[in-house]
Amino acid sequence: MNSIFLTVTVGAIAGLGIFALVRALMPNRRGAVATVAQIDALRAAGPSNGPAPRATDLKGRLGQRVSAFYLQQGWEQRSLRADLAVLDRSWDSFLATKVMLSAVGVFFGPFLFAIAWQLGVGSNPVIPLWMALLFGGLFFFLPDVEVRRDAVDKRRDLRRVIGAYLDLVSMNLAGGRGLPEALMAAAEIGDGWALLRIRNALADARITGTSQWVALGRLGDELGIEELKDLSVTLGLVADDGAKVRESLASRAETMRHRELSEIEGGAGEKSQSMLVAQLLLCAGFLVFLIFPAAMRVFKV
């Protein structure tokens, strides 16, 4: 009975895997979501850039194939793309890394089982299959966790720079400059990666004839920064009134500073609580160390 159930289970899993592989490789009819996603990708690339160059290495070709498959299925992954844009990483390279790590995980699971089997632990032949699927899926999602963790820190730094940038723009407006000149002059004050991204967005807007606050809104949408989106809307509403622009920028910069201070205080409070718990555990262990010999004598154990 066990052998029949084992045979049926392995056959079902193998058949499901083969069906999924064939279904993924077979070209199918594109839906409306996939078509719109492709149009958005081509628009983001820009007409001057032309088609993406074909990769020559194995990782590049694999990334392009997986990216084309994602586009065909309509899987946009907007938040993940925004995280990669903040980290200045390639979408194709990221997808290739996920697939390659998943392949490593598929072989890593049975390898661990082989080691355990040599040590005399476990003999069920279904275990390597489940371990291959488990480690393959786990390794596939590991890059997502890393990217999201790093993007949180990068966005925190970017928000700090934006607060200082708004103060600089307000100072330039108070000095008599117009809004476009003030935005560009404030972005040229340093060479950090955040100001460089803002400066490039403003320069592209000047070349294409787009208003600079619209370019800031697009940059905020690309990087997932709500502050830049709100700034774009605000500047679009009060761009013709210099006094209102200065007041709006100054109040927004002050709000961002207060938020940053609140986050710093909250982080410091969490760390102090963690240190307090660690100290209490240390004191409890020391008390147990002192009381244990006396308790052993009293109870004559």
| Residue 184 CB contacts under 8 Å (≥ 6 apart), including other chains | 199, 202, 203, 206, 212
Summarize pLDDT for 125-137 with one digit per residue, the tens.
677 777 888 888 8
Can you give the pLDDT at residue 249?
Answer: 78
Sorting pLDDT into bands at 50, 70 and 90, what band is 36? low
**Three-class SS state of 88:** coil
Place of tokens 């003030």: 182
Summarize pLDDT for 257-283 with one digit per residue, the tens.
777 777 777 777 777 778 888 888 888
Can you give the pLDDT at residue 45?
Answer: 47
The count of C-alpha atoms lying within 13 angstroms of the C-alpha of 263, restricted to the half-sphere facing its C-beta, is 11
Q: For the packed helices 126-174 and 242-299, what is the interaxial angle rounded to 10 degrees?
A: 140
Q: How far is Cα 203 from Cα 117, in angstroms, rounded to an integer?
A: 62
Q: How far is Cα 155 from Cα 10, in angstroms, rounded to an integer?
A: 46
Determine the distance from the C-alpha atom of residue 38 to the mean position of all C-alpha atoms in its chain, rounded to a whole number: 22
The reported pTM is 0.67
What is the chain's mean pLDDT, rounded? Answer: 76
Q: Which of 115, 96, 95, 109 is closest to 138 using CA atoms?
A: 109
Sorting pLDDT into bands at 50, 70 and 90, what band is 147? very high
